[in-house]
Amino acid sequence: MSAHKTERLLNLLIMLLVTTRPVPKSRIREILYPDASPEAFDKMFDRDKEELRSLGVPVEVGQIDAYFDDEPGYRVKPDEFALPVIELAADEAAVVGLATRVWDHQRLARATTEAVRKLSAAGAEIDLSALDIAQPRLPADEPTFDVFFEAILERSVVEFDYWRSGTDAPSRRRLEPWGVTRYSGRWYVVGHDLDRGEERVFRLSRVQGEAHKVGRPGAYSIPEGTDISAATRRLAPDLSTEPVVLLVRAGAALPLRRAAETVEVGVPGPDQATPWDRLTLTRASVGIADEVLGFGASVFVESPASLRDQVVSRLEAVVAR
């Protein structure tokens, strides 16, 4: 499926989802298909509508006015469209299923903004709270998301450098990506590792530098019956819920502060250059070492010892190189 068609489907989904009343077909054409001829619009709209339905989206047809037999309208009721109950095949999840979970991503947000702007300009009654079912949002610190998302649509191989936990340097990887999903607060890409010859999962935040699509589109197929979320849970590192205690310089490491269960202000720290605070995090701590290292000398690990040793070994490896 092309990126243009994906965006068109997303526009239609947003329009039908946020409107509080059924939208007439004529209004849908006016707002979303303005350049299409009547015949072309009928064909595209019918295909798009049925494709959304095939993906589990409950597109309903209803009368706009209960007292008059006028033109029918279309709508998606938010309470009947909740992502946890939608079952998507692996091939479909890479397109609409994934896109509906990342409204705030810089590319897909354009479709959301444009659709809502057109609806508002046309005087439609909209309910933006309907978009809340599309959580979670994609954080801005995953610059390679675009490449993997496009590669999934095109079925293209992706090459990238990946820093695996416990290693001294990143290694080159080649992947046939099947899908991207969020697990324990992190974004992962699942696919077939061409170098290892097996199914693997990679965390996007550990991709170093730029990722590149290589080869021709349509180079592979996603195995039938693939469950991206289940594969991620099976292949991702085991989660640890052991409390993490950090010393953080006053005013630093805001993401860690937001995730902290408790914050103790004005505690003794490893130096006296600035005041220090003690943060306790009780969420699953997968990948916490990467976060700590990202803040440099502003964060010090008090416990657990295993996390402190991991951070120290990574720093020592950098100094040795």
pLDDT score of 292: 84
69 and 160 share a domain? no
My answer on whether 188 and 261 are in the same domain is no
The 3-state DSSP class for residue 233 equals helix
Which among 170, 205, 235 is the end of a domain? 235
End-to-end CA distance of the chain: 45
Both tokens assigned to 141? 């610190």
201 and 302 assigned to the same domain:
no
140 belongs to a structural domain:
no
For residue 66, is it within any domain? yes
**165 and 113 in one domain?**
no
- Is the same domain home to 201 and 83? no
Highest mean pLDDT among 34-38, 77-81, 252-256, 267-271: 267-271
113 in any annotated domain: yes
CB 31 within 8 A of CB 117: no
Domain of residue 180, CATH code:
2.30.30
What is the structure's pLDDT at 93?
A: 44
In a domain, 294, yes or no: yes
64 part of a folded domain: yes
172 with 259, same domain? no
Q: Are residues 102 and 8 in the same domain?
A: yes
Cα–Cα distance measured from residue 318 to residue 310, given in angstroms and rounded to the nearest whole number: 13
Tell me the DSSP string of 77-102.
-GGG--GGG----HHHIIIIIHHTT-
pLDDT at 191: 94
Statement: the pTM of the whole predicted model exceeds 0.75? no
Taking CA atoms, 129 is separated from 15, 82, 150, 260, 262, in Å, by 13, 13, 28, 28, 31
Tell me whether residue 139 is in a domain: no
Q: Are residues 31 and 122 in the same domain?
A: yes
Out of 15-19, 20-24, 83-87, 296-300, which region has the weakest mean confidence (pLDDT)?
A: 83-87
Domain enclosing residue 280, as ranges: 244-320
Residues 179 and 284 reside in one and the same domain: no
Shared domain check, 228 and 285: no
The pLDDT value given to residue 213: 95
Of 108, 134, 160, which closes a domain?
134
In a domain, 23, yes or no: yes
Higher pLDDT, 94 or 264: 264
Over residues 304-318, the pLDDT tens digits come to 888 888 888 878 877
- Edge to edge, the sheet with strand 299-303 lists 262-267, 276-281, 244-249, 299-303
Instruction: Quote the percentage of the chain above a pLDDT of 70.
Output: 69
Domain final position from 181, 210, 235:
235
How far apart, in whole angstroms, are the C-alpha atoms of residue 48 and residue 3?
14
In this structure, of 187-191, 277-281, 287-291, the range with the lowest mean pLDDT score is 287-291
Pair 252, 152 in one domain: no
Same domain, 75 and 175: no
State the total domains in the chain. Answer: 3
Contact 179, 98 (CB under 8 A): yes
